[in-house]
Amino acid sequence: MHHHGPHHEDSGMPQPWHLVPPSPWPVLGALAAGVLAAAAVMYLHQDTIAIGALVIAPKLTGVVAGALALVAVMALWWRDVIREANAAKGHSPEVRVGLHYGMALFISSEVMFFVAFFWAYYSAALFPPAILGGIWPPAGISPPDPFEMPLLMTVILLSSGVTVTMAHKAAAENGWRAVVTSLAFTVALGCAFTLCQAYEYRHADFSLSSGMFGSTFYMATGFHGAHVIIGTIFLAVCLVRAAMGKLTPDSHFSLTAAAWYWHFVDMVWLFLFVSVYWYGGR
């Protein structure tokens, strides 16, 4: 959708900023995330909550319900963002700058989220406490060989970083067939990575409850895996929208944001590979 001339003349607004109408999604998103987090903690600890005669038992259904509710809120929220861009012409050049800053700051907060897990990992790995016998990995734990499955997963993610860059570059040059092809490869590689990680988790001989090694290993690699799945969905949505002809060379912020996010996921994996698998597994 193209429009010419100053944006605010088109919309009858005296300024170029987009004022979002009242939206139910922030509070519903917070509730869904709260249910997901509480249900997941209860499920992992197998805690029951008794409220009078009502006993809430930890089941996977609560985790699934919270996750589905969160996905539904996200889908509806971003549907509204797409509508305000296309139907309401709300995304003036000034607003787009804000969207770019918003995504950059969001990724910065995600970086700090992972810094916490790397901090915990290195705290245990560099200075193993006496309870572990002062050695890392602790006795009785055989970590995965970094040059088997983890190396394959590294190759998969680095390749996907190339294909997502190709898609982003083609979008600016109106090469929509190349965008769709490159994004399809990226999504396929993202799915392949997740399958490899599922295989590795299935065949690991230690679990989340295997002391410090298990908890730091699975927190860091597990949250990264979750981010790969989120990023794959993000790219799949961009793929569908590109195939429907909804993105234009001068208006494809969703693809830009997805590409940034994917590169972030890629970088975190490289740090995980070097720290947790290569250094920590020796």
* pLDDT tens digits, one per residue of 239-271: 999 999 988 888 899 999 999 999 999 999 999
pLDDT for the residue 184: 98
How many alpha carbons fall within 13 Å on the CB side of residue 130? 0
Estimate the crossing angle of helix 253-272 against helix 176-203, to 10 degrees: 30
Instruction: Specify the CATH number for 93-279; select among 1.20.120.80, 3.10.110.10, 3.40.50.2300, 3.30.450.40.
Output: 1.20.120.80
Closest among 18, 22, 78, 21 to 257, alpha carbons compared: 78
Task: Please answer whether residues 254 and 241 qualify as being in contact, where contact means their C-beta atoms are separated by less than 8 angstroms.
Answer: yes
d(CA 113, CA 180) in angstroms, rounded, equals 32
Could you give the C-alpha distances from 99 to 8, 47, 58, in angstroms and in order? 18, 41, 39
- The structure tokens listed for 46 are 């197998």
Alpha carbon 278 to chain centroid, angstroms: 23
Report, as an integer, the average pLDDT of 99-124. 96
pLDDT exceeds cutoff 70 at 5: no
Check pLDDT > 90 for residue 49. no
Question: What's the pLDDT tens digit per position in 120-139?
Answer: 999 999 998 888 888 899 88
Which helix (DSSP H) or strand (DSSP E) does residue 89 occupy?
Answer: none
Where in the chain are the domains?
19-87, 93-279
Please give the CATH number for the structural domain made up of 19-87: 1.10.287.70
**Is the model more confident about 160 or about 2?**
160
Q: CB–CB of 42/120 below 8 Å?
A: no
pLDDT given for residue 4 in this prediction = 52
pLDDT digits (tens, 9 = 90+) for 137-179: 988 888 999 999 999 999 999 999 999 999 999 999 988 899 9
Look up residue 130 and give its DSSP letter: G
- Do the Cβ atoms of 128 and 147 come closer than 8 Å? no
Q: Give the mean pLDDT of 15-26.
A: 90
User: Percent of the chain having pLDDT more than 70?
Assistant: 95
Residue whose token pair is 């519903």: 28
> Which residues is 49 bridged to in the sheet?
56
Residue 30 C-beta-side C-alpha neighbours within 13 Å: 4
Place of tokens 């793929």: 239
